Structure 1
Amino acid sequence: MSHQVYLADRPQHFTVQPGETVLQAGLRHHLALPFGCQSGGCASCRVRLTQGEVEYPFPPPALSDAEIQAGYILMCLARPKTDLIIALHQPPMLDALRPRQLPCRVQHRRWLAHDVLGLSLKLPRGADFRWLPGQYLDILLDDGRRRSFSIANAPGGELLELHVRVTPGGRFAHWAAHEMPQRAILRFEGPLGAFYLREDSARPILMVAGGTGIAPIHAMLEDVLGRSGFTRPLHLFWGARTQRDLYLHERLLHWAAAHAHFDYTPVLSEADAPWPGEKGLVHEAVLRRHPDLHGFEAYLSGPPAMVRAGKSALLAAGLDADHLFYDSFDYAFETWPTLG
């Protein structure tokens, strides 16, 4: 039988037909719902279930036990067993930022690190493409698949900046680095995802990035550090293997020197030279500096193993699940399918 889903913070509601997930039904009703991999791996569609009961085809891989106990579900996997009330916890302005498909031109291509390629994509004139810092886009590939990349710069110009890690098995990344023609035309869909800074809070902010997980964090920082009225304490921990992997190190040091409310701590797991800073796993460095996380807000971005370990450790240290946000760069789903 069908069930009704009501939005706790909105006037809308919609019907889920038998066999549909909450996400499929919401998008069928043209609601602006956050989503990503549709496989339970990225948690872009995480929402709080305030009333009702759902079932899954398998346990939701992106949710920790603490998140499940706090009432969170993944809309891409959840099927209602009863009528539901869900809380999106997203700003109303997100309704106006519905994903769109647009062309773009590759304006610049440069190496940011030995295995990270920076791409600057020029938007069409008059496109009025807007996004929240931290969101991502999907490059639409010729075979119908997609490749997801965080937008690494804050809104306000005609360029989108991407950080592309070039790995042996990365088809798009290898093509972009070695075969893509100058000024190539690409197509993308965006903005996507629910990873963005929540500004309805006064809590101090922890940002934890691993590798190219710095990209969406960089966009957030570029946005808020450029505002004179934003004074919430910010502490960024960026984990990398070696010093050469810290490809934004000098810029972040400059920002930390220029803004009294911003701290930056790089963490190396495999320091290959004398290194006076933090070593080991990045979430362990966070807890050495902040052992009690009651009253904090945290944003995690990077490889899935880092995000999983970081979520568990931070929640165990007192972080409230309602103030935990993350973007898992899950290589198990390198390309996303079309919705459906």
Structure 2
Amino acid sequence: MTFQITVQPSGHQFSCDEDETVLAAAMRAGVGLPYGCKNGACSSCKGKVISGSVTHKAHQARALTPEEEAAGMSLFCCATPHADLVIEAREVAGSGDYPVKKMPSRVSTIEKVAPDVVVISLQLPANETLQYRAGQYIEFLLRDGKRRSYSMATAPDNGPITLHIRHMPGGLFTDQVFSTMKERDILRFEGPLGTFFVREDSDKPMVLLASGTGFAPIKAIVEHLVQTGSKRAMTLYWGGRRPQDLYMDALCREWAAKLPNFNYVPVVSNAEAEDNWSGRTGFVHQAVMADLPDMSGYQVYSCGAPIMVETAKADFVAKCALPEEEFYADAFTTEADLAAF
């Protein structure tokens, strides 16, 4: 059975099969619902069911609480319809501009930039290109049918696609990356995916908030804004447990020295005496709050661990007057996050 989905306030409509999620149907129809992980962990696709009813597949309770579900909220990446639906969602202009492709790539370089982080570069087949927006991600297609998602760390048209990969001990894919992967290996992927990219219809100053390898899409966004000659003010807050987690600190300091509209604030939460760290300490989002107690005129682009992203959004909105609709995020979910359902 097929149902009709109507999105408010745009009025856009699309069909959805009864065993299909609302998000999958929207993507198939080219309707730009916001999304990130696509598996019920990050809450980027959360919206409201105004009429009709849905069943939710497995998801994390923190992404959609029972109280929210009772109030009509829904995770559209996990929701399958029982009837025609009217939903309320903030659509993302431009999210469907570039085709999603499945294609092979060859590992051209592997560079270890921290004890647990490598940067890999991908070479695409001759005469093939991947059009994407800075901030989007690709999914590697593994042989067992599983997928692993990584954000592109380079702006479009700024050299080969690069990815920042952190080792998750015991991880099916990252164990391979850190042990047996070598240059010229073939990897298949699908992309571009995600709605985490700059809303270029605004000139508001931007807070770029990253933890760990959440820096990857932020790097692509900065490069894109530099390429396009944007004059928007940008402040990057990058947090790690120890200084070595800020594995491209020198690049960020170079940006701060060269770009008149760019500031950089590194934050370390668990520095050891041997690190000789004299910079900001504590949780990275709290550094933002200390510097910007009134965020009513800002946009925030946040990427990293789900707990950081969720806490930052809640605190910025509740305590710093950030408009909720001006917080854009990509939470990096791991297999451990998914196993916690």
Aligned to 1:176: 177
Partner Cα distance (2:104, 2:40) in 1: 29
Distance across 2 between alignment mates of 1:72 and 1:198: 25
Q: Which runs of 5+ in 2 are unaligned?
A: none
8 Å contact from structure 2 (residues 30, 96) kept in 1: no
Could you say if the C-alpha distance between residues 288 and 180 of structure 1 is closer, same or farther in structure 2, counting changes exceeding 3 Å? same
2:192 aligned partner: 191
| Cα distance change of structure 1 residues 29 and 243 upon mapping to structure 2, 3 Å threshold | closer
Deviations 1:30-82 (A, max 9, x none): 65655454331123434x549546545377633589x9999974311234566
* Amino acid paired to 1:207: L
2:330 to 324, 327, 330: 327
Q: 1:334 to 1:138 in 2, by over 3 A?
A: farther
Identity %: 37
1:115 corresponds to 2:116: yes
Structure-2 change in CA distance of 1:150 and 1:69 (3 Å): farther
The separation in 2 between residues aligned to 1:334 and 1:184, in whole angstroms, is 28
CA 124–64 in structure 1, closer or farther in 2 if over 3 Å, else same: farther
1:5, 1:85 within 8 Å by CA — same for their partners in 2?
A: yes
Per-residue deviation at 1:3? 4.5
Inter-partner Cα distance in structure 1 for 2:171 and 2:216 = 18
- How many residue pairs are counted as aligned between the two chains? 333
Greater shift in the superposed pair: 69-78 or 304-313: 69-78
Normalising by structure 1, we get a TM-score of 0.87
Matches within 5 A, 1:41-56: 41-46=41-46, 48-49=47-48, 51-52=50-51, 54-56=53-55
CA contact (8 A) 1:60 1:77 kept: no
| 1:164 counterpart residue number | 165
1:318 alignment counterpart: 321
Q: Which stretches in structure 1 are left out of the alignment for 5+ residues?
A: none
CA shift, 1:176, in A, is: 1.6
* Counterpart in the other structure of 2:145: 144
Work out whether residues 24 and 76 of structure 1, in 8 Å CA contact, stay in contact via their aligned partners in 2. Answer: yes
- Which residue of structure 2 lines up, in the alignment, with residue 38 of structure 1? 38
Q: Over residues 146-203 of structure 1, what are the superposed CA-to-partner deviations in whole Å (9 max), with x where a residue is unaligned?
A: 1110100100055110001013122211212221233111100000111111111121
| C-alpha deviation, 1:90, in angstroms | 1.6
Q: What is the 5 A alignment of 1:209-288?
A: 209-228=210-229, 230-272=230-272, 273-288=275-290
The separation in 1 between residues aligned to 2:327 and 2:134, in whole angstroms, is: 17
Secondary structure of the equivalent of 2:96? helix
Counterpart for residue 203 of structure 2: 202
Shift, 1:26, TM fit: 2.8
| Distance change in 2, residues 1:34/1:124 (3 Å) | farther
CA 1:149/1:250 → structure 2, altered by over 3 Å: closer, same or farther? same
Distance 1:126 1:69 in 2: 51
SS at match of 1:84: strand
The more displaced of 172-181 and 277-286 is 172-181
Change beyond 3 A, Cα 1:333–1:38: farther
Aligned residue number for residue 90 of structure 1: 92
Residue 4 of structure 2 contacts residue 16 of structure 2 at CA under 8 Å; is this kept in 1?
A: yes
Aligned-residue offset at 1:259? 1.3
Counterpart contact for 2:37–2:331, Cα < 8 Å:
no
The AA in structure 2 aligned to 1:329 is: F
Instruction: Decide whether aligned partners of structure 1 residues 280 and 30 sit closer, same or farther in structure 2, where only a CA change above 3 A counts.
Output: closer
Give the AA of the match of 2:239. Answer: G
Deviation of the 1:320 alpha carbon: 1.0
Rounded to whole Å, the distance in 2 between the matches of 1:335 and 1:102 is 26
Matched residues in 2 for 1:275 and 1:308: separation?
A: 27
- Counterparts of 1:127-138 in structure 2, within 5 Å, are 127-138=128-139
The 3-state SS of whatever aligns with 2:329 is strand
Name which of structure 1's ranges 152-161 and 33-42 shifts more when overlaid on structure 2.
Answer: 33-42
TM-score normalised according to structure 2 size: 0.87
Output aligned runs, 1:67-78, within 5 Å: 73-78=74-79
The answer for the alignment partner of 1:289 in structure 2 is: 291
SS in 2 for 1:96: coil
Assess if the C-alpha contact under 8 Å between 1:44 and 1:195 holds in 2: no
